[in-house]
Structure 1
Amino acid sequence: MSKLNAQQLLQLLSLSSTALPIGAYCYSQGVESAIETGLIHDEASCLDYFDEVMHLLLARYELPMLKRMIETHDQAHEFTKWSAQYRASRESRELLAESQQLAFSLNAWIKDVLKIKPSVKKQEGFLPVYAQLCGQLHLKVDDAMTAYAFTVLENQVLAAVKTIPLGQMSGQRILWALNLRLPDIIEQALALEDDHLSSALPRYAMLSMQHETQYSRLFRS
């Protein structure tokens, strides 16, 4: 491995680490509501649910959006267009607030650790801030997409492990199975045309809305 490749790998590991202090572990992104309603209740139902997250949320929308924002990070007009579309796709107050809070925390990390001024405001949401940073660091698009997808899946699986609760080994089996399928998801996302992007996930949005008023919660709304 070249020194440059090693540096990029280390940067991606840092950005996808649960030790990154942006508070992603505080959110369940609908998982807690899915457990409350019985949609998720054991290892098998978890795997089915997160497989749909990969295919319907990541492959069809968030990963293709990440690709486009990384590729246009130095093209203000195009980047703003994709960033605005991403912000508009946050279908609940909770999802928008979560994205903006994570963006705020990542911007704080950029200022404190990298000693540079963030160029994307927190109001745009987490994905634009993350994409802009990946572009500035000259990280490979497919590698950045893989790191982002892993982080999303890991956070949601851990939410299920804590809440159902599942054992740690059960969570690891779920993650391992998802990781084996992830390369195909990345390929699908890379090949998706602009006209085929879709953030229409009404059930996902409804779970988030239900979480806003859920009586008993472990995770932030």
Structure 2
Amino acid sequence: MSTTIMTTGMDTDTTTTLTDAALLRLTWLASPALPVGGFSYSEGLEAAVEAGLVRDEQSAGDWLVDQLHLALARGDLAVVAKVASDPQRAGEMDAWVRQTRETSEFRLQSEQMGKSLGDWAKSLGRAGVPAATQPKNTTYPVAYAIAAQGTPLRATLLAYAFGWSENMMQAAIKSVPLGQSAGQRILARLADEIPQAVAHALQAEPQAFTPMLAILSARHETQYSRLFRS
């Protein structure tokens, strides 16, 4: 069985046909229940709340939409696209991720989540690529691309971005704090923006330039009271 999905890019609609197995696999990878520890990170959002930059539903939504386009689309999503398209680039992209994480918190997050996802995939017999081309303990976007191999590229990026959005929405609920309805409205905003972010990632080489996020992450490392690890 297969499922046909219509997605909207920057200028055109794209039709993607997924087998049932591929659709379920991407749903599984995007699930907050996946044992990779994403719930324990806010990716600088908690520090933005502490600094008064995020105060309510509107500012939280604005912050996360900007982060989606300026950080995720240019960085992790582009890395997933490169590795999913060419597994031989896994080592190169893994090194790039490690080198461009601007704080110890961000680097440890990517390494921990990547190792956990790799362990999950291996426990199910889904390592994805030959051992010779698979870096040991890869960073998260590389591990995700490896685990998702065999699924359509655009759908893979949509699932990655939505999983990130769910985790960040939950981080906003806890750190601002916000109610569940506000969280769902933020998630709806992010879902509307994801196709454009994915379209950008499919066309670009990975980039990393988010100085304000780096400053906030560095401050978070010594923040007095914290709910999250980043």
TM-score w.r.t. the length of structure 1 is 0.90
CA RMSD of aligned residues (A): 1.8
Q: In the alignment, which residue of structure 2 is the partner of 1:46?
A: 60
State the identity as a percent.
39
Q: What letter corresponds to residue 159 of structure 1 in structure 2? A: A
Unaligned runs of 5+ in 2: 4-17
Q: In the alignment, which residue of structure 1 is the partner of 2:10?
A: none
Q: 1:101 aligns with which of 112, 129, 133?
A: 112
Q: In the alignment, which residue of structure 2 is the partner of 1:126?
A: 140
Q: Is the 8 Å Cα contact of residues 120 and 132 (structure 1) preserved in structure 2?
A: no
Q: 1:22 aligns with which of 5, 12, 36?
A: 36
More displaced 10-residue stretch of structure 1: 58-67 or 11-20 = 58-67
User: Matches of residues 66-85 of structure 1 in structure 2 within 5 Å?
Assistant: 66-73=80-87, 75=88, 78-85=89-96
User: Structure 1 residues 155 and 115, CA, compared in 2 at 3 Å: closer, same or farther?
Assistant: closer
Q: In the alignment, which residue of structure 2 is the partner of 1:186?
A: 198
1:87 maps onto 2:98 in alignment? yes
1:57 maps onto 2:64 in alignment? no
Q: In the alignment, which residue of structure 2 is the partner of 1:2?
A: 2
Q: Please report how far the alpha carbon of residue 116 of structure 1 lies from its aligned counterpart in structure 2 after TM superposition.
A: 5.0
User: What is the number of equivalent residue pairs in this alignment?
Assistant: 212
Q: In the alignment, which residue of structure 2 is the partner of 1:146?
A: 158
Indicate the structure with greater helix content.
Answer: 1
Q: 1:218 aligns with which of 213, 218, 227?
A: 227
Q: Is the 8 Å Cα contact of residues 134 and 144 (structure 1) preserved in structure 2?
A: yes
What SS class does the counterpart of residue 95 from structure 1 fall into? helix
TM-score w.r.t. the length of structure 2 is 0.86
Q: Is the 8 Å Cα contact of residues 127 and 147 (structure 2) preserved in structure 1?
A: no
Q: In the alignment, which residue of structure 1 is the partner of 2:15?
A: none
Q: Is the 8 Å Cα contact of residues 121 and 129 (structure 1) preserved in structure 2?
A: no
Unaligned runs of 5+ in 1: none
Aligned counterparts of 1:191 and 1:62: Cα–Cα separation in 2: 13
Indicate the structure with greater strand content.
Answer: 2
